[in-house]
Structure 1
Amino acid sequence: MLAVDDDPSVRDLITHYLGDHDFRVTAVTTEGEMRSVLARDPANLVVLDLRLGRESGLQIARNLREQTKVPIIILTALKDEADRVMGLELGADDYVTKPFSPRELLARIRALLRRSRMHETVADAVADVRAYRFEGWELNVRLRKLRSPTGEITALRNAEFNLLLAFLAAPHRVLSRERLLALSRLHNAEVYDRSIDVMVGRLRRKIEKEPRNPALILTERGAGYLFRPAVETLRG
């Protein structure tokens, strides 16, 4: 794990607390140092302060996301809501506000690593999949395009694409909201369940004939959602 922060007290806190919980942490102060470490030893997660002296944590987050899929937790001041939003939009996976509780940071790291492993499992499952077909629809996995039964391209946001992909990779199975949150890589929100419910609602409006009376994505009360149609998998 890698921590990037120009405050020595924060670096020491992260290194010692996480070290006491069996995490191996390398702490650095600049993007250059971060890149040197990553070149020698790829990290499984990066904790990144957005307020670094002369460097922009936001730009570092952007560069990291463009070049790697490593999970990113950003650190921001409580008042810097705009920076948190921008950091998440640039591809960070979660955030913690300063001053922060080491226990909260540890909990968020563990949760993010669990979600990352779930996502990798689905990625492995669809690695050789070219497209999925269902009810006349076709999702081209490699081109990330959804074609309707009438041949039109239906635009999908990134989270909507990942959510539909999770359903298509596991049809006829009830998927919990927590699992769907992880697989769709939605950013943490105050109410996880509502985040998934909103995203499912958006997806239904795009693929269901009657979104208020869905026939494709069914709600399993108290358990999650189930994708009902038969799914054809095209490989190669």
Structure 2
Amino acid sequence: MPHGDLPDGECPVVAIIDDDADLRRTVAELLANNGFRPLPLPDGASFLALGPRPGVDLALIDLRLRGENGLTLAIRIRETMGIPIVMLTGRGDEMDKIIGLETGADDYMMKPFNPRELIARLRAVLRRAGHPGVLTPDRSASAIRAFGRLRLDQTRRELLDQDSTEIALTNAEYRLLEYFLRHPGRIIPRTELLTELGNDLSHYMDRTIDVLILRLRRKIEAVPSKPVHLQTRRGQGYIFVIGVTT
């Protein structure tokens, strides 16, 4: 039984879809001890057998499910159920990670992962999805970084537009934007961005940064093909310009 500071009815239900029985058991125990209701499943078929309304708040999916493609399952869940998705990846899955970024997974964790970080990531994704059982920090105490007509709330890890509506970011997108905002007006090489993102992306190929930059521009730029904030300096890297309006 889960325990923590939430009633059972409010505990987020997380499907753990992984063919590794030991990992399922370990993650299920971790989640149960931190206010979640785990639902361990060995494969995608078991999840899909729950029906079109599976009663799950988030799907935690292994990219390398035995005999099937975790990305295919993730895309199907995204298109038919609208459930937030966090992917578990191995160190040798560079192309899958890139494809996963392009299909819009809410977040990624690389194996082996830090248990506290996994819990924090799951809570952040569920909070962004509006789950009532996840506590939201007080915005009045937030640290805000503004650029153009947008604001990054570093306490709540939210990107807000001029109407205070949240623009959803994945964890990697958030960390990339926050790093740019801490170093405005400076050309930042791609290698520095890879280093900063650390265990998220340190084993990815260079194209990953390009994918993240493209996704981030779609969310922060009025015309993504003509960026005014997140600009490219060919052969050098990227530079973030704050003092403009979009």
TM-score, structure 2 as length reference: 0.56
Letter of the aligned partner of 2:16 in structure 1? A
- Pair 195,53 (structure 1): closer, same or farther in 2 beyond 3 Å: farther
Residue aligning to 1:228: none
Please, which of 175, 179, 203 is the counterpart of residue 222 of structure 2? Answer: 203
Instruction: Tell me, yes or no, if structure 1 residue 2 matches structure 2 residue 21.
Output: no
Partner Cα separation in structure 2 for residue 174 and residue 99 of structure 1: 33
More strand as a share of residues: 1
1:186 alignment counterpart: 169
Taking a change above 3 Å as real, the CA distance of residues 194 and 44 of structure 1, as seen in their structure-2 partners, is same
Change (3 A) 1:14 1:192: farther
Aligned mate of 1:102, from 100, 104, 115: 115
Distance 1:116 1:12, change over 3 A: same
State the Cα distance separating 1:104 from its structure 2 match.
Answer: 1.4
Structure 1, gaps ≥5 residues long: 119-171, 218-236
Aligned length: 163
Q: Secondary structure at the match of 1:117?
A: coil
The residue aligned with 2:42 is 29
Distance 2:106 2:31 in 1: 19
- Write the deviation string for residues 173-221 of structure 1: whole angstroms up to 9, x where unpaired: 966363217932233224342478963763267698xx9863x44xxxx
Percent of counterpart pairs with the same letter?
A: 34
C-alpha spacing 1:37/1:191, structure 2 compared with 1 (3 Å): same
For 1:61-140, list aligned pairs within 5 A. 61-117=74-130
Q: Distance in 2 between matches of 1:213 and 1:65?
A: 36
Q: Is it true that 1:49 corresponds to 2:62 in the alignment? A: yes
Using a 3 Å threshold, how does the CA distance of structure 1 residues 191 and 55 change in structure 2: closer, same or farther?
same
Larger Rg: 1
- Output the amino acid matched with 1:180: L
Matched, 1:176 2:153: yes
Cα pair distance change 1:22/1:173, threshold 3 Å: same
How far apart in 2 are the matches of 1:212 and 1:18? 39
CA contact (8 A) 1:71 1:112 kept: yes
Structure 1 residue 109, shift from structure 2 partner: 0.3
Say if 2:53 and 2:81, in contact at 8 Å, map to a contact too. no
Residue aligned with 1:59, SS: helix
Amino acid at match of 2:159: L
AA of the residue aligned to 2:153: S
Of 13, 27, 33 in structure 2, the residue corresponding to residue 14 of structure 1 is 27
What amino acid is the match of 2:19? D
After superposition, give the CA deviation of every residue in 1:130-175 in whole Å (9 maximum; x if it has no partner).
Answer: xxxxxxxxxxxxxxxxxxxxxxxxxxxxxxxxxxxxxxxxxx9966
Q: Amino acid of the residue matched to residue 176 of structure 1? A: D
TM-score scaled by length of structure 1: 0.58
Whole-Å Cα distance in 2 between the matches of residues 41 and 202 of structure 1? 36
Determine helix, strand or coil for the equivalent of 2:101.
helix
Q: Distance in 1 between matches of 2:89 and 2:150?
A: 38
User: Which stretches in structure 2 are left out of the alignment for 5+ residues?
Assistant: 1-13, 132-148, 185-215, 229-240
Change in 2 beyond 3 A, CA 1:54/1:21: same
**1:107 positional shift:** 1.0
